[in-house]
Chain A
Amino acid sequence: MNDLGASFATAFRLLLSLDPDLLQIVGLSLYVSVSAVAIASFLGMPFGALVAMTRFPGRGALVIVLNAFMGLPPVVAGLFVYLMLSRAGPLGDWGLLFTPSAMIAAQTLLVLPIVAALTHQTIGDLHIEYDEYLRSLRMGRVSSVLTLLWEGRYSLFTAALAGFGRAIAEVGAVMIVGGNINHVTRVMTTSIALETMKGNLALALGLGVVLLAIVALVNALAFELQRWTRQWQGA
């Protein structure tokens, strides 16, 4: 109970002090996770839409795999990227291990199946509705995909948010490929893990509260933005 009270006090003090170390950690967390979500959306949304809009052998199996990978453990994603980027790995020459880029790669891998699977779901429903319309216009594949992605923009935005929630909250992947190096690859979740291990429970919890506040803030902003555009575009 004491710890809890102390941790809230710590959280407030951290937030109010605008401690440069803390700001750097928060900034890196956001940079890594937002980048990962952006890349995953850029790749995963067209991919999910394409899978939803085309019939090909093995499509069912692909969708099952995609859905299964939504539950990919972060440490496994981290391990995979680690193996690719380590000195002996196929991409070892790039020298990316223990850099923010490696962390972005690992989180992208983690978010990609979520975004792709949710997009597949959304676009699948829209495709049933608009298939004949699009074929009636003799629209090409690329334009059709783009049309439906835009039609599903609100649901897809929510899918991206789900991906962001997953990315910003995970610790396993960034720990393995980033290494939690102070001022280089330390993010919020890895600091929390570190402080907990050092026994600084109040500080750890305080950081946890800050993390939660940031996630809540991002979601609130996204929600407002969505409500606002919805009002203007009506859907």
Chain B
Amino acid sequence: MDPAVAGRVTSVLPLKLSGVGLTIGQHTLLKDIHHTFTGSSISVVMGHNGAGKTLLLKICHGLIPPTAGRLQWHRPARAKRPCVQAMVFQRPVLLRRSVEQNIRHVLKAGRIAKSETGRAVQQALAMSRLTDMASRPARQLSGGEQQRVALARAWAARPEVLILDEPCTYLDPAATLEVEQIITAFYDAGTKIIMATHDIAQARRLAGEIILMHQGKIAECAGGHEFFGGPCSDQARAFLEGRLWTRGNSI
């Protein structure tokens, strides 16, 4: 095995979803999801609004129990470190505290040794370029800065798997690039990334693997090159062309 790949095989992966489904009331929101997330690449989940991306990520993260099928981690999370996975939500959820206190809160939950806390906080601040804003109230920051706080928090928790739900939705191109750099830094540090995005260009830049969702099902799953080179399914072609067409017209 390639040593670069071997190095990033984490203890909890692969994550295997077999026939995962979610029904709330009479609505079937997710159906027949079969997929294995391996540790070797950035997995990008795409699809239209309401396709079920957020629900799929929350199921993977354990926030919503699936009503059908099952979810199997290679090795279940060890009790000592509850933060093997971290999730950054579509809208950043920040505490009514300073940026630094937000990061410290995650560390406390992760039960990281007191002696390491200070260094971990400084590192997380530095990598997200928030050092100057450490004492600012987190909820007064701009949207892009808040998203960086959410990422800094995840960084401090040192997760093996990082789940990102449209981390760049509200960001301008420069901020998007910054967030992508942070995501790449996570990846380089050996973290498995599972992220949802609408941004086709972003998916092209980051994706090792693309999972296209359509009406609660996986319509197509392929490597990044294959997907953008020539998708197999009609839905994938429609998705890509529809997007480009809209863009072409709207400019």
Q: Which residues of A contact B97 (CB under 8 A)?
A: 150, 233, 235
Q: Which residues of A contact B109 (CB under 8 A)?
A: 137-139, 143
* Cβ-defined contact, B106 with A137, below 8 A: yes
* Cβ-defined contact, A233 with B63, below 8 A: no
Binary flags per residue of A188-199, CB closer than 8 Å to B gives 1, else 0: 000000000000
* Cβ-defined contact, A136 with B87, below 8 A: yes
* Cβ-defined contact, A147 with B105, below 8 A: yes
B136 interface contact, C-beta 8 A: yes
Interface set, chain A 14-36, CB cutoff 8 A to B:
none
* Cβ-defined contact, A132 with B83, below 8 A: no
* Cβ-defined contact, B139 with A235, below 8 A: yes
B98 interface contact, C-beta 8 A: yes
Q: Which residues of A contact B110 (CB under 8 A)?
A: 137
A133 to B98, CA, bound (A): 17
| Majority DSSP secondary structure for residues of A touching B | helix
Closest to A148 in B: B95
* Least Cβ–Cβ distance between A232 and chain B, in angstroms: 9
A130 interface contact, C-beta 8 A: yes
* Least Cβ–Cβ distance between B136 and chain A, in angstroms: 7
* Least Cβ–Cβ distance between B155 and chain A, in angstroms: 14
A191 to B138, CA, bound (A): 50
Q: Which residues of B contact A137 (CB under 8 A)?
A: 82-83, 106, 109-110, 157
Contacts A138-B83, A143-B109, A147-B105 given; indicate if A234 touches B140 (C-beta within 8 A): yes
Q: Which residues of B contact A135 (CB under 8 A)?
A: 62-63
Choice from B63, B108, B140 contacting A136 with Cβ under 8 Å: B63
* Cβ-defined contact, A133 with B93, below 8 A: yes
A151 to B137, CA, bound (A): 13
Number of A-B contacts (CB under 8 A): 48
* Cβ-defined contact, B98 with A136, below 8 A: no
The count of chain A contact residues (Cβ–Cβ below 8 Å) is: 16
Closest to B109 in A: A137
A139 to B87, CA, bound (A): 14
Q: Which residues of B contact A132 (CB under 8 A)?
A: 58, 63, 89, 93
B86 interface contact, C-beta 8 A: yes
Of A129, A136, A147, most B-chain CB atoms within 10 Å = A136
A138 to B86, CA, bound (A): 10
Closest to B85 in A: A136
B34 interface contact, C-beta 8 A: no
Binary flags per residue of A114-128, CB closer than 8 Å to B gives 1, else 0: 000000000000000
Of A139, A147, A234, most B-chain CB atoms within 10 Å = A234
Choice from A130, A138, A143, A233 contacting B137 with Cβ under 8 Å: A233
Contacts A129-B93, A137-B109 given; indicate if A233 touches B98 (C-beta within 8 A): yes
Of B89, B110, B137, most A-chain CB atoms within 10 Å = B137
B61 interface contact, C-beta 8 A: yes
Binary flags per residue of B103-144, CB closer than 8 Å to A gives 1, else 0: 001101110000000000000000000000000111110000
* Cβ-defined contact, B98 with A234, below 8 A: yes
Q: Which residues of B contact A136 (CB under 8 A)?
A: 61, 63, 86-87
Chain A residues in contact with chain B, CB under 8 A? 129-130, 132-133, 135-139, 143, 147, 150-151, 233-235
Return 24 A-B CB contacts under 8 Å, by A number.
A130-B95, A132-B58, A132-B89, A132-B93, A133-B89, A135-B62, A136-B86, A136-B87, A137-B82, A137-B106, A137-B157, A138-B82, A138-B83, A139-B109, A143-B108, A147-B95, A147-B105, A151-B96, A233-B96, A234-B98, A234-B139, A235-B96, A235-B97, A235-B139
11 other contacts beyond A132-B89, A138-B77, A234-B139, with CB at 8 A cut-off? A129-B93, A135-B63, A136-B87, A137-B82, A143-B109, A147-B95, A147-B105, A151-B96, A233-B137, A234-B96, A234-B98
